[in-house]
Amino acid sequence: MNEAVFSQIAMLVLLTGLIVWMGIIVWDLAKKSKAGKFGTLALFIVLGAGVVGFLVKTVMVEIMNL
């Protein structure tokens, strides 16, 4: 396994872990602030928009490089 393959696999695994960890943090934030169903949904939509934007950007870059 060369360095490029290792970097790609590590990036995928660690980035997935980071996204999951951020979801756990948002869930804990909603629970501690007693946000309710609507507040929890709003937190996940607003704070998750950054993750969605990153994923969309990544897909668009890959499509443009084809």
Mean pLDDT over 11-21 rounds to 91
Token duo for residue 31: 């629970």
Mean pLDDT over 11-38 rounds to 92
Instruction: Give residue 53's pLDDT.
Output: 92
Spatial distance between the Cα atoms of 39 and 42, rounded to a whole number of angstroms: 5
How do residues 28-52 score in pLDDT, each as one tens digit?
999 999 999 999 999 999 988 988 8
Kindly indicate the confidence band of residue 64, based on its pLDDT and cuts at 50, 70 and 90: very high
Kindly indicate the confidence band of residue 1, based on its pLDDT and cuts at 50, 70 and 90: confident
Main-chain phi, psi angles of 27, to 5 degrees: -60, -45
